[in-house]
Amino acid sequence: MSRPDPSACLNLSSSRTRQLLVGGMRQDFPIFEHPMRGKRLVYLDSAASAQKPQVVIDTVQRFYTEEYANIHRGVYELSEEATQIYEGNREKVRRLINAREIREMVYVRGTTEGLNLLAATFGRQRLGEGDEILLTEMEHHSNIVPWQMLCEQTGAKIVVAPITDDGALDMDAFEKLLGPKVKLVSVAHISNALGTVNPVKEITRLAHDKGIPVIIDGAQAVPHIAVDVQDIDCDFYVFSGHKIYGPTGIGILYGKAELLEQMPPYQGGGDMILTVSFKGTTYNEIPYRFEAGTPDIAGAIGLGTAIIYVQSLGFDAISAHNDKLLNYGTELLQEIPGLRLIGTAPEKVAVLSFVMDGIHPHDIGTILDSRGIAIRAGHHCAQPVMERFNIPATTRASIGIYNDKSDLDALAEGLREVRRMFG
Amino acid sequence: MGDLRDLYQEVILDHGRRPRNVGNIAPPCSHADGYNPLCGDKLTLYLRIEDDTVSDVKFEGAGCAIFTASCSLLTEALIGKSIEEANELCRRFVAMSTTPVEEECDTEGLGKLGVFAGVREFPARVKCATLAWHTFENAVRGSGESAQTE
Ligand SMILES: Cc1ncc(COP(=O)(O)O)c(C=O)c1O
């Protein structure tokens, strides 16, 4: 290879960790060199999608420039190399979530596809008329709609565990709902609308005591906390690359090998088969059985580098940075007259969702936008949460590793301007 | 880049806070619903039409300041107009709000409604401004179909 692997220079170093804690990693992200609306970009929408560090961009660029070929196909060197890099990335993912085996990592397009895959295979195989799927009130639409579609096909039914006024999962109610008809539990590790961290280990233990399998939607968790799927003991764990500073179009479905092995395939096509004839087809082993067609090879490779990048900072430092900004931001926002935070659970990450008396979130969003501040306004693909709190929408600021206190100062200043304009 | 004040001018803030002609008309000559799925803006517009003239317009709805002000200003602008004039105003309002930012936009004869030209700086918000007007066109057509942005 002519150039070294861009991620080769990343190892856990105390100077990088210190940098994160002092000022954030803005200088690693080229997007911040470009102004927004003529102003410094204040990006507070990482829960929707995270920006990409230069090293991830370089990895993808180098792959297309120097290493590109299709995988699992060519007998020539380039294809074999591409295959090696692509397959090698499964090991990086395995280490990120501490899974037992590499073959438990299924490449998917993202969390949404992972959950749809599970509904169409595992769910379809295991659920019937009258069975129940236990979800929570704080799920993202992608952990609701695939199950509703499955219910239409099978006659199964969804039951919903409620949340408390501060946005935590009501564990007493959850336990009571875990009745004899429940055949599956699917829960967010961290809520994108509220920031609440759910006690997924406890949830899994309660469900497993009754022999019920557990799916965890980890979309918001992997960027923020060290995830250990063996410690949680969940049966499936799903996440998206783009929220952990990697490319779009790639995500991971983790499943315990013994369960993946029993599942029927999802989509049919190339790569997921061993032999095909018109008399019949034999399916490939896991994880390939679930990976029909040419995948997002560059995306997977970019994700591998994103994982190395995040690990080079360490999750201790990432969590400390996140907690620091959560506390700072919470205090700042509470000083704004007429502002109410939605989601104040004791266990939460730096997602600041709020409403302001008499001012619609879209007006807040536009006024902040004009100041170069990117936040999300709306229902955050979690309409049941909005219904629970009896509000049409919230404004949400969410933190990534490039943010620092000055971003939250800018937010607070923008909100004071909103208050002034609307009186 | 236009100043944000171009958009959130006193007129919009005032009508957003204290919308005029809120309520229904019982029975209306015609009514129509409008919905913007992206923002959740929602309205029902009620019309009374006498001798080809819009004699009364009222609305019930909920949404952002731009949307609410647009509904409110629509009612003020259209009451007393002939159907033909009202339709022409709708056409001109929508044309103004959707003129690309880099082009000169025509606010001639739109009076106070000209403030909505500022919405062009914020493409995500254009629909908040135009929804009421599309809904009015539907109500006049009496088709009973509901207006939806997108
Ligand atoms: C909790 C949660 N689940 C699922 C998703 C869906 O992820 P994706 O759109 O990457 O498939 C998101 C993204 O917003 C999320 O926050």
pLDDT digits (tens, 9 = 90+) for B70-117: 999 999 999 999 999 999 999 999 999 999 988 988 888 899 999 999
Closest approach of chain A CAs to the CA of B13, in angstroms? 7
Q: Which class would CATH give B2-143? A: alpha beta
Query: Does the pLDDT value for residue B146 go beyond 80?
Result: no
Ligand 1 touching residue A220 (CB < 6 A): yes
What ipTM score was computed for the predicted complex, to two decimals?
0.87
Q: Between chains, do B13 and A422 touch, taking CB under 8 Å as contact?
A: yes
Residue type, B133: W
Cα-based distances in Å from B27 to B30, B52, B145? 8, 17, 18
Residue A422: list chain B partners with CB under 8 A: 13, 17, 65
Specify the residue for token string 């620091």: A324
Q: Collect all residues from A whose CB is shorter than 8 A from any CB in B.
A: 37-38, 358-363, 366-367, 369-370, 378-379, 392-393, 421-423
Ligand 1 touching residue A186 (CB < 6 A): no
Structure token pair of residue A145: 């709609």
Instruction: Give the model's confidence band at B144: pLDDT under 50 very low, under 70 low, under 90 confident, else very high.
Output: very low
- Which residue, among B1, B14, B36, B122, would best test binding to A if mutated, counting the most A CBs under 10 Å from its CB? B122
- Other beta carbons within 10 angstroms of residue A141's beta carbon come to 15
Which CATH fold would you assign to the domain A77-310? Aspartate Aminotransferase; domain 2 (3.40.640)
Whole-number pLDDT of residue B127? 94
Instruction: Give the model's confidence band at A219: pLDDT under 50 very low, under 70 low, under 90 confident, else very high.
Output: very high
Whether residue B18 lies within 8 A of chain A, CB to CB, comes out as no
Ligand 1 touching residue A110 (CB < 6 A): yes
pLDDT digits (tens, 9 = 90+) for A317-356: 999 999 999 999 999 999 999 999 999 999 999 999 999 9
Pick from A359, A370, A392: CB nearest B62: A392
Determine what percent of chain B falls in helix, strand and coil, rounding each to the nearest 5. Answer: 45, 20, 30
CA A85 – CA A75 distance, rounded (Å): 15
Ligand 1 touching residue A111 (CB < 6 A): yes
Residue B4: list chain A partners with CB under 8 A: 366-367, 370
Whole-number pLDDT of residue B113? 94
Across all residues in chain A, what is the average pLDDT? 95
Instruction: Give the model's confidence band at B149: pLDDT under 50 very low, under 70 low, under 90 confident, else very high.
Output: low
In b/e form, how buried is each residue of B74-84, taking b as 16+ CB within 10 angstroms? Answer: bbbbbbebeee
Residue B120: list chain A partners with CB under 8 A: none
Query: Does the pLDDT value for residue A281 go beyond 90?
Result: no
Whether residue B101 lies within 8 A of chain A, CB to CB, comes out as no
Pick from B1, B4, B39: CB nearest A362: B39
In b/e form, how buried is each residue of A201-213, taking b as 16+ CB within 10 angstroms? Answer: eebbebbeeeebb
Instruction: Give the model's confidence band at B145: pLDDT under 50 very low, under 70 low, under 90 confident, else very high.
Output: low
A2-11, A228-237, A356-365, B44-53: segment of lowest average pLDDT: A2-11
Instruction: Give the model's confidence band at B3: pLDDT under 50 very low, under 70 low, under 90 confident, else very high.
Output: low
Architecture of domain A42-50+314-416 in CATH? Answer: Alpha-Beta Complex (3.90)
Cβ partners under 8 Å of residue A108, min gap 6:
A114, A117, A238, A250, A251, A252, A253, A290
Whole-number pLDDT of residue A365? 94
Whether residue B38 lies within 8 A of chain A, CB to CB, comes out as yes
Kindly give the pairing relationship between strand A214-217 and strand A339-341.
Answer: unpaired
Q: Where are the domains of chain A?
A: 42-50+314-416, 77-310
Whole-number pLDDT of residue B46? 96
Whether residue B127 lies within 8 A of chain A, CB to CB, comes out as no
Instruction: Give the model's confidence band at A1: pLDDT under 50 very low, under 70 low, under 90 confident, else very high.
Output: very low
Q: Between chains, do A367 and B39 touch, taking CB under 8 Å as contact?
A: no
At B36, which helix (H) or strand (E)?
strand B30-36
Q: Which of A335, A332, A338, A356 is nearest to A408 (CA)?
A: A332
Kindly give the pairing relationship between strand A42-43 and strand A373-374.
Answer: parallel
Structure token pair of residue A284: 């490939």
Whole-number pLDDT of residue A4? 66
Whole-number pLDDT of residue A318? 96
Query: Does the pLDDT value for residue B6 go beyond 80?
Result: no
CA B31 – CA A213 distance, rounded (Å): 51
Instruction: Give the model's confidence band at A280: pLDDT under 50 very low, under 70 low, under 90 confident, else very high.
Output: confident
> A77-310: same fold as A42-50+314-416?
no
Instruction: Give the model's confidence band at B1: pLDDT under 50 very low, under 70 low, under 90 confident, else very high.
Output: very low
- Which residue, among B4, B66, B119, would best test binding to A if mutated, counting the most A CBs under 10 Å from its CB? B4
Ligand 1 touching residue A249 (CB < 6 A): no
- For atom 12 of ligand 1, which residue has the closest CA? A219
